[in-house]
Copies of this chain bind each other. A is one copy, B any other.
Amino acid sequence: MDILNSVLNFIDYNFYFSLFATIPEHTDADTSLVLASILLSLVIIYFASKLGGEICARIDLPPVLGELVGGVIIGTSILGLLVFPEGMNTANNSLIMKFLQFTADVTPGNIQSIFDSQGEIISILSELGVIILLFEIGLESNLKELISVGPQSVMVAVAGVVTPFMLGTLGLTYLFHIDIIPSIFAGAALTATSIGITAKVLAELGNLSSPEGQIIIGAAVLDDILGIIVLAVVASLMKTGQVEVLNIVYLSLTAAVFLIGAIFIGRLLHPVYVKLVNKMKTRGQLLLISLCFAFVLSYIAQIIHLETILGSFAAGLVLAETEKRKELQDLIAPISDIFVPIFFVCVGAKTDLSVLNPTDPSNREGLVLAGFLILVAVIGKVISGFTIIGQSELNKLAIGVGMIPRGEVGLVFVGVGSASGVLSKPIEASIIVMVIFTTFLAPLLLRSILKEPFFTPQKQKIT
């Protein structure tokens, strides 16, 4: 090849320069190093999520708790492997960037821009993760079931949203003198209920089809819808900063109209959707059409100042009613497996739990705040069980306790709150501790309550 080079030197190829010659517009060093940092980040995220999830699965705790704690451990609070360019963080705080510098040729000037790009890209992947999570939750919901939910479930769901929200928001503003917008947001985060965790415990103890089980499941499904509307409204409040009754009414109406409108228009489009999918011949047609539908609704929700996840949730609800539901669920599962852990781990990694370190006296207020949120989170939901009038044969305590775990739904609130930048670190950390604590506590409490036979005459078996 040396010969070729020499030959070329003889030829006057200036004439061709403008047309064919090497014009390096940009080197690929940056793009390929950013890609390398993303690959490294994903490996670490998946490792943390699986390690945490597996440990939790083995001690009978919800795996989502393990994924979150895995994120906290690799994140800014403890190991500093996965940190994001927010606040004071620079590339120097990130062990991933140090490893990249150690293994690849990165100039010190480049590392900061790689760090910024990595943070932005992982954040977007995490946002896509929560969009897909809500799409999957929507797809698993059943609108017909929801409409036939009994009045008791409606009572429990509404009380379980209103009580913790009011107690939380008023407590934070009056007792803790926190700004109104963060207070409302923290109150809203208290309204979430994770159906999966309670359903698993109920199934495990053979109580899923008991009256209590049915009320809890109905209430939790309704709670998903109420919760996501509350979240959309509150997140929108955070953007505009205007806490006025009219604004709140307007936003609530927008969210409700969007959700109901999407469902009705979606129903009209069912035949078109099924026909289109059946007529297409290329690979992945069902998945891509469904995802496009979810992304379009997410985009619309975003530009009318609601949240993207309200759009993907609505898309899931709509497609759950078509004959393609089962097939789509199977296809979306692997997508969810690779995207959702990014979200859970990032929520953990972004939260600075060191602001709640009890050995530092200046953290006392933050710890009191976390304690208050946990108290309200438990009391607010337990009360909801006792809103059922009469029916003394029902185990109302079990119903209330079944509504306690915030799980992945609580984390969606934390994720949105964190992205808004409106929450202070202690509030964010307190909310996440509340989510961890309720998710951890509920299965233990529920098991101990349901195992006492005199409380649950409908129980089918005791394990």
List residues of chain A with CB under 8 Å of any chain B CB. Answer: 1-2, 4-5, 7-8, 11, 13, 16, 19-29, 31-32, 34-36, 38-40, 42-43, 46-47, 49-50, 53-54, 57-58, 63, 86-87, 103-104, 117, 120-121, 123-124, 127-128, 131, 173-174, 176-182, 184, 239, 243-245, 248, 280-285, 287-289, 291-292, 295-296, 298-299, 302-303, 308, 331-338, 341, 365-366, 369, 419-422, 424, 426-427
A422 lies within 8 A of B302 (CB): no
Assuming the contacts A32-B419, A121-B121, A337-B288, asked whether A182 and B20 have C-beta atoms less than 8 A apart, the reply is yes
In whole angstroms, what is the CA distance A127 to B32 when docked? 9
Which residues on B sit within 8 Å (CB–CB) of A331?
334, 337
Instruction: Give the nearest-CB partner of A295 in chain B.
Output: B39
How far is B49's CA from A127's CA once the two chains are assembled, in angstroms? Answer: 24
Minimum C-beta distance from A235 to chain B (A)? 9
Inter-chain contacts of A239 with B (CB < 8 A): 28-29
A182→B281 CA distance, assembly (Å): 38
Chain B residue with Cβ nearest A37: B299
B20 touches A338 (CB 8 A): no
A366 touching B58, Cβ below 8 Å: no
Give CA–CA (A322, B47) in the complex, Å.
21
Q: Is the CB of B244 within 8 A of A1?
A: yes
10 closest A-B pairs by beta carbon, nearest first, are A284-B337, A53-B282, A13-B177, A39-B295, A57-B281, A1-B243, A104-B303, A46-B288, A20-B178, A331-B334
Residue contact B21 to A179, C-beta cutoff 8 Å: yes
A229 to B86, CA, bound (A): 41
Given contacts A31-B419, A53-B282, A121-B121, contact A20 B179 (CB under 8 A): yes
Oligomeric state, in copies: 2
Q: Are A281 and B58 in contact (CB under 8 A)?
A: yes
CA distance A258 to B284 in the complex (A): 33
CB closest chain-B residue, reference A179:
B22
**Residues of B close to A173: CB separation below 8 A:** 4, 7-8
In the complex the two chains form, is A334's CB within 8 Å of B245's CB?
A: no
Question: Nearest Cβ in chain B — how far from A33, in angstroms?
Answer: 8
Complex Cα distance A426/B19, Å?
7
Closest residue to A35 on the B side, CB-wise?
B127
Decide yes or no: A16 and B121 within 8 Å by CB, A40-B299, A421-B24 being known contacts: no
Cβ of A53: which chain B residues have Cβ within 8 Å of it?
282
Chain B residue with the shortest CB-CB distance to A58: B281
Within the complex, the shortest CB–CB distance from A104 to chain B, in Å, comes to: 5
User: Which chain B residue lies CB-closest to A335?
Assistant: B334
Known: A120-B121, A121-B121, A288-B341. A54 touches B281 (CB 8 A): yes
Output the nearest chain B residue to A425 by Cβ-Cβ distance.
Answer: B23
- Please name the residue on chain B nearest to A302 by beta carbon: B36
Smallest CB–CB gap between A167 and chain B, Å? 14
Tell me the smallest distance from the CB of A30 to a CB of chain B, in Å. Answer: 9
Known: A25-B421, A86-B26, A180-B4. A426 touches B335 (CB 8 A): no
Can you show 28 pairs from A to B with CB atoms below 8 A apart? Answer: A1-B248, A7-B173, A8-B173, A8-B179, A13-B177, A16-B365, A19-B366, A20-B427, A22-B179, A23-B424, A24-B421, A25-B87, A28-B239, A31-B127, A34-B124, A38-B128, A42-B291, A42-B292, A43-B295, A47-B292, A50-B280, A53-B282, A54-B282, A120-B120, A120-B121, A284-B338, A287-B334, A287-B337
Best-buried of A5, A20, A244 by chain B (most CB within 10 Å): A20
Q: Which residue of B lies closest to A30 (CB)?
A: B120
For A128, what are the chain B residues with a Cβ–Cβ distance below 8 Å? 35, 38
CB of B338 within 8 A of CB of A288, answer yes
